[in-house]
């Protein structure tokens, strides 16, 4: 197994001089050294050949003992010094002080085909940032992270990737619903891969301590390596950098809204500076189209991180990042300008994205706004599956005469959880909407066939529904990893028909409606 090691973060940025693995506050440093804990009997559950290829690893490498040793934390790669990053963050709207990589250990950075990747183990034991926790992760949350990272990538959503999922052979104690019922679960380790794991919180921690020197070092480092077209070391450059982070974050959240992904814990320590979806915890996928839905039971009261609120939270998080970068610029105006334009541009980007989901040639102003707004309301009148609705909408013919054709709703009926509710008022609402939709489609010259092809590229057929991950978890926990493998392969082609897998193109089964892990998730992982 050969990796082309090119460390930057732990070579160019200030290190914590304390080399002990004791929990503490760390000052004026971007990271602390931390060695992964040796697992008692590691075994590989699954590895991604595509991610391996990015790193210059072969399918043969994935089967080797060396691979298992390195990516379960048993051995440290020669010539590398693993480390945990220092960062802070706002959790649920409140400043939480120093957080840091409490259970993530960056192994090294590698270069392959002109691209640079950081390899990071999650769940490989304690670090100086572990606070009161154990630094470990369990199989259920690791399966969720491994599958969802790759599913999101193949959906076209910016995300961190996942190379491998291993069992440690050790037991980990968790109280899943935080209700006084702790139980032992299987420990697991995921190797995550991204150009960088720097978060908004990495900048915030130095701002909170008035440490402008280290803040500047980290910002200059980030610009130099990840924002090559931004001017280095100037106030103008810092503002341009902020603008680009805002643009990337907006792109990310528009994609989330397109595919129905709810992150669940959008704290500023979980916001990647590269605009990547990061830290897959109590995330979930919309099934019924419910703008107020959040999968995270910790957030059940406030619903701060509910589906429809995600874009606003990105903006709020950007404001916190602006507060940190302000110390390098000392002028609030340019930051305010970026934040104001985010607000305006987001609405336009969202509408453009929705008009693509509807198969419109081009977003056309106020009539299309009404079409989108009306649809969002009607989708909530009775529980309607978001993924099935949009996927099947592509089968609608614009020649349909809504007045005379009693069966116009047939194309989307599979999306209704309670089809018997679709009568009277609800039926009339749909009738009006489909009549507007047909009218609008007839203004475009696109044929039904071409529209369907285009819609199928933005409306996935297969997403990682919450219950699907749980089915894979239950089997894996019993030692059968075949469903992890099956879902991994399925989700590589979320837009393809894959008729052989059509059992996964279905509404959430009733047994999963209120089941822990399917509709309710906690941060316990």
Among 128-136, 310-318, 324-332, 508-516, the segment contacting ligand AMP (CB under 6 A): 128-136
Q: Which of 7, 220, 269, 368 is catalytic?
A: 269
Among 16, 145, 185, 279, contact with Mg ion (rule: CB under 5 A): 279
- Least separation in angstroms between residue 219's CB and ligand AMP is 21
DSSP string covering 283-298: -EE-SB--TT---BGG
Rounded distance between C-alpha atoms, residue 324 and residue 199, angstroms:
12
Rounded distance between C-alpha atoms, residue 15 and residue 2, angstroms:
27
Question: Long-range contact list for 404-410, CB < 8 A, 24+ apart?
Answer: 408/434, 409/434
Give the residue at shortest CB distance from ligand AMP: 102
DSSP strand pairing (83-85 vs 31-33): antiparallel
Binding status of residue 100 toward ligand AMP by CB under 6 A: yes
From residue 420, how far is each of 227, 393, 429, 513 by CA, in Å? 54, 20, 15, 19
- Least separation in angstroms between residue 101's CB and Mg ion is 9
Binding status of residue 460 toward ligand AMP by CB under 6 A: no
CA angle at residue 284 from 141 to 356, to 5 degrees?
135
Contact 348, 250 (CB under 8 A): no
- Least separation in angstroms between residue 162's CB and ligand AMP is 16
Query: Is 405 in the active site?
Result: no
Among 32, 48, 130, 268, contact with ligand AMP (rule: CB under 6 A): 130
Contact 143, 476 (CB under 8 A): yes
Tell me which residue of 462, 444, 464 sits closest to 390, measured CA to CA: 462
User: Which residue number, 256 or 437, has a Cβ lying nearer to ligand AMP?
Assistant: 256
Among 244, 270, 382, 400, contact with Mg ion (rule: CB under 5 A): 270
Alpha-carbon dihedral sign for residues 27, 322, 242, 235 = negative
Tell me which residue of 288, 266, 290, 289 sits closest to 277, measured CA to CA: 266
Among 46, 103, 192, 508, contact with ligand AMP (rule: CB under 6 A): 103
The listed partner (ligand AMP, Mg ion, none) that binds 220, CB under 5 to 8 Å by sort, is none
Task: Classify burial at 378, counting beta carbons within 10 Å of its beta carbon; exposed 0-12, middle 13-18, buried 19 or more.
Answer: middle
Among 125-133, 311-319, 349-357, 389-397, the segment contacting ligand AMP (CB under 6 A): 125-133
Binding status of residue 99 toward ligand AMP by CB under 6 A: yes
User: Which residue number, 304 or 391, has a Cβ lying nearer to Mg ion?
Assistant: 304
Size of the site for ligand AMP (CB under 6 A): 18
- Least separation in angstroms between residue 120's CB and ligand AMP is 11
The DSSP element (H or E) to which 45 belongs, if any, is strand 43-47
- Least separation in angstroms between residue 262's CB and ligand AMP is 15
Question: Long-range contact list for 500-504, CB < 8 A, 24+ apart?
Answer: 501/462, 504/462, 504/465, 504/468
The listed partner (Mg ion, ligand AMP, none) that binds 321, CB under 5 to 8 Å by sort, is none
User: Which residue number, 196 or 270, has a Cβ lying nearer to ligand AMP?
Assistant: 270
Cβ burial 389-425 (10 Å sphere, 16+ → b, else e): bbbbbbebebebebeeeeebbebbeebbeeeeebeee
- Least separation in angstroms between residue 291's CB and Mg ion is 25
By rule CB under 6 A, what string of x and - marks binding of each residue 248-277 to ligand AMP? -----------------x-x-xx-------
Query: By CB under 6 A, what part of segment 186-225 binds ligand AMP?
Result: none
Q: Catalytic positions, please?
A: 269
Residues of this chain that interact with ligand AMP (CB under 6 A) are 99-103, 129-130, 133-136, 265, 267, 269-270, 279, 281, 523
Contact footprint for Mg ion (CB under 5 A) = 270, 279
């Amino acid at each position: 197994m050969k990796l082309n090691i090119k460390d930057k973060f732990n070579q160019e940025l200030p290190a914590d001089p304390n080399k002990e693995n004791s929990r503490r506050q760390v000052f004026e440093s971007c990271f602390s050294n931390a060695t992964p804990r040796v697992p008692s009997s590691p075994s590989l559950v699954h590895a991604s050949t595509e991610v391996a290829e990015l790193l210059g690893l072969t399918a043969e490498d994935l089967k080797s003992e060396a691979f298992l040793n390195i990516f379960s934390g048993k051995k440290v790669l020669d010539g590398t010094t693993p480390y945990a990053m220092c960062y802070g963050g706002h959790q649920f709207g409140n400043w939480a002080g120093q957080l840091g990589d409490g259970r993530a250990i960056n192994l090294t950075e590698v270069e392959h085909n002109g691209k640079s990747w950081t390899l990071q183990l999650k769940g490989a034991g304690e670090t100086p940032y572990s606070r009161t926790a154990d630094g470990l992760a369990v199989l259920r949350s690791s399966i969720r992270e491994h599958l969802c990272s790759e599913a999101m990538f193949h959906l076209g959503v910016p995300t961190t990737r996942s190379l491998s999922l291993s069992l440690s052979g050790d037991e980990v104690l968790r109280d899943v619903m935080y209700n006084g019922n702790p139980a032992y679960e299987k420990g697991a380790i995921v190797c995550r891969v991204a150009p960088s794991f720097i978060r908004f919180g990495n900048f915030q921690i130095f701002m909170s301590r008035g440490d402008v020197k280290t803040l500047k070092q980290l910002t200059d480092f980030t610009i130099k390596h990840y924002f090559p077209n931004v001017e280095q070391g100037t106030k103008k450059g810092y503002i341009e950098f902020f603008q680009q982070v805002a643009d990337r974050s907006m792109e990310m959240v528009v994609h989330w809204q397109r595919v129905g992904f709810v992150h669940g814990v959008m704290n500023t320590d979980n916001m990647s500076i590269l605009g990547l979806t990061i830290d897959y915890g109590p995330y979930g996928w919309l099934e019924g189209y419910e703008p107020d839905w959040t999968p995270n039971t910790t957030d059940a009261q406030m619903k701060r991180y509910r589906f429809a609120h995600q874009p606003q939270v990105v903006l709020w998080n950007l404001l916190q990042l602006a507060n940190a970068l302000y110390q390098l610029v000392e002028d609030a105006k340019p930051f305010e300008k970026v934040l104001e334009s985010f607000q305006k541009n987001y609405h336009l980007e969202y509408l453009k994205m929705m008009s693509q989901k509807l198969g419109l040639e081009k977003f056309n102003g106020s009539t299309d706004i009404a079409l989108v707004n009306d649809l969002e309301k009607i989708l909530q009148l009775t529980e309607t599956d978001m993924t099935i609705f949009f996927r099947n909408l592509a089968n609608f013919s614009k020649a349909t005469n809504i007045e005379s054709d009693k069966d116009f709703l047939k194309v989307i009926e599979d999306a209704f959880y309670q089809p018997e509710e679709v009568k009277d008022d609800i039926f009339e609402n749909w009738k009006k909407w489909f009549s507007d939709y047909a009218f609008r489609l007839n203004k475009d010259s696109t044929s039904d066939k071409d529209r369907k092809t285009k819609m199928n590229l933005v409306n996935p057929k297969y997403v990682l529904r919450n219950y699907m991950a749980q089915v894979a978890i239950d089997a894996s926990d019993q030692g059968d990893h075949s469903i992890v493998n099956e879902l991994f392969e399925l989700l590589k082609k979320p837009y393809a028909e894959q008729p052989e897998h059509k059992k996964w193109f279905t509404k959430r089964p009733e047994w999963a409606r209120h089941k822990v892990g399917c509709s309710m998730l906690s941060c316990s992982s």
